[in-house]
A and B are shown apart, each in its own frame.
Chain A
Amino acid sequence: MNDQQKKKLKLKVSAISEGTVIDHIPSESLFNVISILELDKTQNMITFGANLDSDKLVNKAIIKVSNQFFEDDDINRIALIAPHAKLNIIRDYEVVEKKVVEVPDRVVGIVKCFNPKCITNSEPITTSFKVISKEPIALKCKYCEKITHEKQMVIK
């Protein structure tokens, strides 16, 4: 397939007139991103694609959400699983703003504490972590005070 053909294929994913395009999501994180942003509950039109070619990621995914815009605090929640995600804000078919995600200082919910003896793994408690390192990610549990490292991270 030559570049021209690839471009045509990409265009098959329909453009949106108003909304947000979230690009450069690792494919394996696509459904977690959908769930963290609660896109599985929205009434807005959503298209998404996975296992797409990309210069930066071998296997990227993309989500297009019509008529929906995100606050920085909300969008930063996906930084743990899609650290290189880029947002394009679309108005009238044009990209009017580009944003990158940023790992927040605190992570509430989303991640499980890796310590099996932590109270958050035996009672229905929203986890809460202080981010003590952003690259690689290290999270200190507010409850058991143990550190969950990036390699051990499990999304709730």
Chain B
Amino acid sequence: MNKKDLISITDYSKEEYLRIMDLAADFEKTPNQKLLEGKVVASLFFEPSTRTRLSFETAINRMGGRIVGFTDAGSSSVTKGETLHDTIRMVSQYADLIVMRHPLEGSARYAAEVSSVPVINAGDGANQHPTQTLLDMYSILKTQGSFDNLNIFLVGDLRYGRTVHSLLMAMSEFDNPIFNFIAPEELHMPEEYKLFLQEKGIRYFEHREFTDIISEADIVYMTRVQKERFSDPIEYEQVKNVYILKNSMLKNTKPNMRILHPLPRVNEISTDVDKNEKAYYFTQARNGVFTREAIIAHALNLK
């Protein structure tokens, strides 16, 4: 298959990561490039995701494309019992590209097999969300100037958080990263990822809290610790405040350090951090539009 689908972050090579970064920088310089003129993009959201959908639709609009699709499965043929197979078969005859979000894991890989046009995965359950990872990478590159020799702190739910797993996989392609995992016992980084780093000879450290070590970080990537992930509610009560980032913790951090978060945030970053120049999460969301323009251009060989 020569279609340029993007289903998992590992579908792209290191060269492709760098190419997306170059294209994203180009789209940031000139966001409105009418490369999708006369093209139709299907935006199939089988479950709602306002942020991701608006980001994609903004990217498509800025590129001059037209959008067809639906914003949740309730308003689609799924309610009539149509299979994913049939929906994708049909839509791929209408559109030039499919962007899809689906609650079931593996749905995007399957859709790519069924579809005759490229499929971009905008999230398949808890499995993959590669465009988020690429926008995280673009944010890292923009703020650090390089992917090499970075000390990356991953904080919060490292067990179920798909964004941290994908980011770890992608960043491990570059030179000499150091990972610091900061998570409660119940939500620690799964063994398979630690084994993966060991095999690549990449250094990582595990901690239960990060106030004392945050001064070493180049990137602090925050995620939410959700109450429903804990089997023991007492355990949650004990740890819930440990994984909250407060402005007072940023005093001795490196000047180049930036705070990322995939959003939406609940309370894991205090609002007093927002004014700090090291808070980067809203700019990160903005970078998502340029990164998605880049991914679309790459998928359709427009650049």
Contact = CB atoms under 8 A, between A and B. Distances in A.
Interface of A: 113, 115, 117-120, 122-125, 141-147
Contacts, number: 51
A146 B162 CA distance: 12
Given A119-B84, A123-B83, A145 B8 contact: yes
Q: How large is the interface on B (under 10, 10 to 19, 20 to 34, 35 or more residues)?
A: 10 to 19
Contacts of B102: 119
A39 B8 CA distance: 39
Q: Considering the complex of A and B, which 6 residue pairs feature the smallest CB-CB distances, nearest first?
A: A143-B106, A144-B105, A144-B106, A119-B106, A119-B107, A119-B104
B85 A123 contact: yes
A143 B105 contact: yes
User: What does DSSP make chain A's interface, helix, strand, loop or mixed?
Assistant: loop
Given A123-B83, A123-B84, A123-B85, A115 B109 contact: no
Given A115-B105, A118-B105, A145 B110 contact: no
B109 A142 contact: yes
B127 interface: yes
B125 interface: yes
A143 B124 CA distance: 10
A143 B84 contact: no
A122 B84 CA distance: 10
B132 interface: no
B109 A117 contact: no
A12 B221 CA distance: 71
B1 to A, nearest CB: 13
